[in-house]
Chain A
Amino acid sequence: MSVSLTESAAKHVQNFITKRGKGVGLRLGVKTSGCSGMAYKLEFADEVASDDLTFESHGVTLLVDPKSLPYINGMELDYTREGLNEGFKFNNPNVKDQCGCGESFKV
Chain B
Amino acid sequence: MALLQISEPGLSTLPHQHRLAVGIDLGTTNSLVATVRNGISVVLNDEQGRLLLPSVVRYLEDGSVQVGESAQAAQNLDPSNTIVSAKRFMGRGLKDIGDVSGSPYRFVDIPSTGSGQAPGMVQLRTVAGVKSPVEVSAEILKQLRARAEASLGGELVGAVITVPAYFDDAQRQATKDAARLAGINVLRLLNEPTAAAIAYGLDNASEGVYAVYDLGGGTFDISILRLSRGVFEVLAANGDSALGGDDFDHRIYCWLLAQNELPPLNPHDTRLLLTRARAAKEELTEHAETRITAVLSGGEIIDNLLTQQVFHEMTRNLVSRTLQPLRRALRDAQLTVEEVKGVVMVGGATRMPQVQRAVAEFFGQTPLTNLDPDKVVALGAAIQANVLAGNRSGDDWLLLDVLPLSLGIEIMGGLTEKIVPRNSTIPTARAQEFTTYKDGQTAMSVHVVQGERELVADCRSLARFELRGIPPMVAGAARIRVTYQVDADGLLSVSAREMSRGVEAHITVKPSYGLSDEEVTRMLAESNAHAADDMRARALREQQVEARQLLEAVQNALDEDGTALLAPDERAAIQDGMAALGAVLPGSDLPAIKRAVSKLNELTVAFAQRRMDNNVARALGGKKLSDLEM
Interface residues of A (CB under 8 A from B): 12-13, 16, 19-20, 26-27, 31, 33-35, 39-46, 80, 82-90, 98-99, 101-104
* Contact with A33, one of B4, B14, B151 (Cβ below 8 angstroms): B14
* Contact with B6, one of A42, A80, A102 (Cβ below 8 angstroms): A42
CA distance A34 to B151 in the complex (A): 23
- Determine whether the beta carbon of A88 is less than 8 Å from that of B12: no
CA distance A76 to B15 in the complex (A): 20
The proximity string for B residues 150-177 relative to A, scoring 1 for CB distances below 8 Å and 0 otherwise, is 1111000000000000000000000000
Least CB separation from B12: chain A residue: A41
- Determine whether the beta carbon of A104 is less than 8 Å from that of B153: no
* Contact with B9, one of A13, A39, A45, A99 (Cβ below 8 angstroms): A45
- Determine whether the beta carbon of A86 is less than 8 Å from that of B3: yes
- Determine whether the beta carbon of B38 is less than 8 Å from that of A16: yes
Chain A positions within 8 Å of B47 at CB level: 83-84
Interface residues of B (CB under 8 A from A): 1-12, 14-16, 37-40, 44-47, 147, 150-153
- Determine whether the beta carbon of B3 is less than 8 Å from that of A89: yes
Nearest Cβ in chain B — how far from A39, in angstroms? Answer: 5
- Determine whether the beta carbon of A88 is less than 8 Å from that of B5: yes
CA distance A16 to B11 in the complex (A): 17
Nearest Cβ in chain B — how far from A38, in angstroms? Answer: 9
CA distance A86 to B152 in the complex (A): 8
Chain B positions within 8 Å of A27 at CB level: 9
- Determine whether the beta carbon of B152 is less than 8 Å from that of A85: yes
- Determine whether the beta carbon of A84 is less than 8 Å from that of B150: yes
CA distance A77 to B5 in the complex (A): 12
Chain B positions within 8 Å of A88 at CB level: 3-6
Chain B positions within 8 Å of A41 at CB level: 12
Least CB separation from B7: chain A residue: A43
Nearest Cβ in chain A — how far from B53, in angstroms? Answer: 14
* Contact with B1, one of A42, A46, A83, A101 (Cβ below 8 angstroms): A101
Least CB separation from B10: chain A residue: A43
- Determine whether the beta carbon of A87 is less than 8 Å from that of B9: no
* Contact with B3, one of A20, A34, A87 (Cβ below 8 angstroms): A87
Nearest Cβ in chain B — how far from A15, in angstroms? Answer: 8
* Contact with A104, one of B8, B15, B39, B44 (Cβ below 8 angstroms): B15
CA distance A66 to B530 in the complex (A): 72
Nearest Cβ in chain A — how far from B22, in angstroms? Answer: 13
CA distance A93 to B393 in the complex (A): 33
A–B Cβ pairs within 8 angstroms, 18 of them:
A12-B38, A16-B39, A16-B40, A20-B39, A31-B12, A34-B16, A35-B15, A35-B16, A39-B12, A43-B10, A44-B8, A44-B39, A85-B150, A87-B5, A88-B6, A89-B1, A101-B2, A104-B15
